[in-house]
Amino acid sequence: MTNFAFAGMAGLMSGVMHAPLTGTFLIAELTGGYQLFMTLIIVSVISYLTIIIFEPHSIYAMRLAQKGELLTHHKDRAVLTLLKMENVIETDLEEIYPEMTLGELVHVISHTNRNIYPVIDKKTRKFLGIMPLDEVRNIMFQPRLYDRLNVKKLMILPPAKLLNNMPMEEVMNVFEKTRAWNLPVIDENDKYVGFVSKSKIFNSYREVLAQFSDE
């Protein structure tokens, strides 16, 4: 009866881990049952061949896949799993507010070198829209309009917004669908967090790819 228990243990471990040799040697070593070596091998192999028909991945691979941390033969996807959203968010963009006049906006633009500005609610920090430089380029040198127009009238909505906990593969899918170069990042309460640019992702991707290839 004990021999059947040993064989069952080897079969269970081999099926769960998808590792028939590990199951065989581990049970043989733990129990000193080397006289059952052939029996353990047969049971382990049968268990492994049976389980892969119904489940091609081991329990460890399934857990990593669920967490989005499984590295596969698809190198692009594997590298993206190593990129984290917090590492590519840019928080140095100058924030502007909907009540600001065109004159105040021009003053902000004159002191920065960016071509896009997040529009947020000053009190709640909620994200409202974006102010691309191209939207005001034709009127920013017309002082007569400085007090007549404000950011609320000039701002536009971005093609999409990213959540700060989005997996990087999903982020790239959004960029591909929208063909945007910069996208705002918000939290679950719609509060502004920062911006992600495609160039920043590509730079981080190249760095991780270089490390990944060296390994």
Average pLDDT of span 15-22: 70
> What does the pLDDT look like over 24-73, one tens digit per residue?
767 776 666 566 667 777 877 888 788 777 766 665 555 555 555 544 44
- CA–CA separation, 196 vs 205, rounded Å? 13
Q: Quote the pTM value.
A: 0.60
Q: Which of 48, 40, 45 is nearest to 15 (CA)?
A: 48
- CA–CA separation, 193 vs 186, rounded Å? 5
User: Tell me, what's the pLDDT at 4?
Assistant: 67
Go through the chain and tell me how many residues it has: 215
User: Tell me, what's the pLDDT at 71?
Assistant: 47
Q: Which of 5, 4, 1, 11 is nearest to 42 (CA)?
A: 11
Domains of the chain: 2-65 (no CATH), 82-214 (3.10.580.10)
Tokens of 45: 């192999």
- Percent helix, strand, coil in the chain, to 5, is 55, 15, 30
Q: Which of 56, 53, 59 is nearest to 12 (CA)?
A: 59
